[in-house]
Structure 1
């Protein structure tokens, strides 16, 4: 009888230990899941704390790049092209008046003939002179001539372009000489040079006539009728 009772107690003890083991396994599993859950929460918390810093960094980078692009655009608008635009003529007339004069060597022999052509005449209130814009005063304007000079000689030459044009106005006896020029103009060997000369006149001046030729030679008379 005693032996049966001991056997019964040992069986109960064994069942109880099995139940304990059965309970401990889910407990360990629950503990692992809990740790995983809390670790996930901690990671999200750390990420959420870093996220504003990342957003702020990206925003600052965007602002920096935009400021550089804007600065380049402004600089391009301000300094991209500072060239002077040629002023428009109030009136002009195509002339294509040509005369030739000889080039002489040191012994006085003619070596070539320079071709001096007045392509057109114009009236302008502004004139580009030596790369700068010159403006006329009130009541005055510029009479401007576009020249084309051809040197057929094998050597370069220099000439004073204003020596070959004189201007008469209002049927007066006095002749005007061009005052705005780039003389002496250098024309390289076997080449053509374009240049301009001009003279200030009154806006009320009429009956404009030019005389083209060498100072001591015959002159060609050309009347100006601006349109």
Structure 2
């Protein structure tokens, strides 16, 4: 009788562990399941605005002299509730969204260059706060005489529609670009 009870307890514990394992596995795979083509899918952007802005980044040689630089082409800016970060789907928390700047880094030099794109963009959400990108692929390796698509992202409050994007080197002059998603 005692052996039978022990066996029943072990059986119940085993069933519970298997059920918990299945639930955990399904919840993990539901957040990052590729579609039938093997690609991750995310929700469409809730807002999108063309930027078509370009600016040059001056590079310095070993002697500190400026040489031909890299060009950053900011293509568009989006507000999203989901993004892919390091191959995993990331959802924004309630009351927040992701503001994503899609860009291309153009290298006209005959050697590869690494660029920290987060150092050239700041996002203004009010008059005196400038946010650095929290989401980025830095350092971005741009091969010789090539173009590399990349992006940076900022977590922002949902419902905000007006932003100021500041472009330029940290210690240099900056260009401000006003972005209004209501227009």
Range into which the TM-score falls when normalised by the shorter chain: 0.7 to 0.9
Q: CA deviation at 1:128?
A: 1.2
What RMSD, in angstroms, separates the aligned Cα atoms of the two structures? 1.7
Instruction: Name the structure 2 match of 1:174.
Output: 129
Larger Rg belongs to: 1
- The aligned counterpart of 1:112 is 68
Q: Which runs of 5+ in 1 are unaligned?
A: 1-77
Change in 2 beyond 3 A, CA 1:138/1:109: same
The DSSP-based 3-state class of the residue aligned with 2:119 is: helix
1:221 and 2:170 aligned: no
- Give the unaligned 5+ runs of structure 2: 1-33
**Greater CA deviation, 94-103 or 197-206?**
197-206
Q: Per residue, is there more helix in 1 or in 2? A: 1
TM-score by length of 1: 0.62
> Residues 40-85 of structure 1, C-alpha deviation per residue, up to 9 Å, x if partnerless?
xxxxxxxxxxxxxxxxxxxxxxxxxxxxxxxxxxxxxx98533102
- The separation in 1 between residues aligned to 2:35 and 2:44, in whole angstroms, is 24
- Structure number with the higher strand fraction is 2
1:96-154 Cα deviation digits (max 9, x unpaired): 11110212211122332210111000100001112211110111000000011101111
Structure 2 partner of 1:97? 53
Distance 1:79 1:128, change over 3 A: closer
Measure, in 2, the Cα distance between the counterparts of 1:219 and 1:162: 14
CA distance in 2, matches of 1:220, 1:101: 13
Question: Equivalents in 2 of 1:136, 1:79: separation in Å?
Answer: 21
Report which structure shows greater RCO (CA 8 Å, sep ≥6). 2
